[in-house]
Chains A and B, each alone.
Chain A
Amino acid sequence: MNLPRVAQRPRLAARWIVGHRCALTIVILVAVLWWLLLPWKSNAVTWCEAFGWVDFYREMGDGWVGRTIGESLWLFPVIEVVHLFGLAILGGSVIVMDLRLLGVGLKGASPARVLANTRPWLFVGLIVMIATGVPLFLSETTKCCFNHSFEVKIASLFLAVLYTFAVRNRIAVREGVSTCAMQGVAVLSLGLWFTVAAAGRWIGFSG
């Protein structure tokens, strides 16, 4: 049937939704999880307080690294900038891989090939992030102890790393995985890494 273009639009939208039903389901799931989990503890004590780690955190910050950064005017900003370089490298490799799993981006290459090309840069990004993130933490350990964004960031970071290497990268090299499963895997990966980054930025805004 030759419908005019405008009349075809609802149909195209419906086909798009059906084609991305798995990705969309996970998007909704991640959004609901965010809604439920993130504001949950805003009035509660942090784990650091609850477990009585306040003194331990302060002692970590009293070390040479923490004091040097704390006393310097420019060291903290400079390390932060390198942390942002790491964000670009890590984010770029995660996004290019997840776009491929979503069925967009580098469609011409197999997910296994895209993974082989992005994985080294995922490591580079992670190493830069951790090598700069630890000193940043050491310069403000007491603030982090009472900061909900910090604990969300660390928790989601562990989940994201575990998930990326134990689940996503293994599914990316597997043959015969359904489009639906790959989309779900990609959206969950993007959701986890987004949580890490967003909570990380929010450390600076909260307390």
Chain B
Amino acid sequence: MDSRYDPSLLHSFAEWLDTHAWSTALHESLWVWPLVESTHVLTVALFVGVLVMVDLRLLGFAFKDTPVSAMTGRVLPWSIGGFCVMVVTGLLLFYANPVHLAHNVWFRLKLILLVMAAVNAWAFHRRVSRDRERWDSQPRPPVSVRLVAATSVSVWAGVILAGRMIAYNWFECGRDQSAFIIWAAGCAVDLAP
């Protein structure tokens, strides 16, 4: 076991994944890893891009002449399709480098933001199922709906930010880090400076 890390449950799981030959093969692959990573990045245009268009409708900034139900019924499924590609490529990327990612603060922040996004999506569907008929054709939906849309845009922007920052090693365990980072990244305490 790598002594730089705290032997938590997440860490043990990551260590176990790391023993897989396919994980190493994917990590070291000259073409497959870059292709999976590129697919993950480019799908931002499909997943977040189309989702933002729906959110802009909910905010009253675009498609004011189109019912909300048309956007969620006919446009949103494309975004969900993009999300599926994101999950598959994202899991593959985690599988390629599990121990490093499990102790990356940006990756951990991204997971927290993903949970927030899921809660927000659940809140939206609850809100929609209550009384959408009332505001379906309104150019500017009620403030609670706009709040959910604004949260969606912000949280997904945060996910993009955290996701991109994973590539940078500023807060890596093994470098001189503050007590907060050592805690947030789950670095082993005996290596604290």
Which residues in A have some Cβ–Cβ distance to B below 8 Å? 73, 77, 80-81, 84-85, 87-96, 99, 104-109, 113, 117-118, 120-121, 194, 197-198, 201-202, 205
Contacts and interface: CB of A to CB of B under 8 A. Distances in A.
Nearest to A99: B78
B7 to A, nearest CB: 31
18 contacts: A77-B164, A77-B167, A88-B45, A88-B49, A89-B49, A91-B44, A95-B49, A95-B50, A96-B53, A96-B75, A99-B75, A106-B71, A117-B62, A117-B64, A117-B66, A118-B53, A120-B62, A205-B38
Contacts of A93: 49, 53
Contacts of B49: 87-95
Contact of B164 (A81, A89, A105): A81
Report, nearest first, the 3 A-B pairs whose CB atoms are least far apart.
A91-B45, A92-B49, A91-B49
Interface in B7-57: 34, 38, 41-42, 44-46, 48-53, 56
Given A87-B45, A105-B74, A109-B70, A92 B160 contact: no
B65 interface: yes
B91 to A, nearest CB: 20
Nearest to A194: B42
Given A117-B62, A118-B62, A120-B62, A96 B50 contact: yes
Contact of A109 (B62, B66, B165): B66
B170 interface: yes
Contacts of A107: 74
A104 B76 CA distance: 12
A105 B78 contact: yes
Contacts of B161: 81
B157 interface: yes
B83 to A, nearest CB: 13
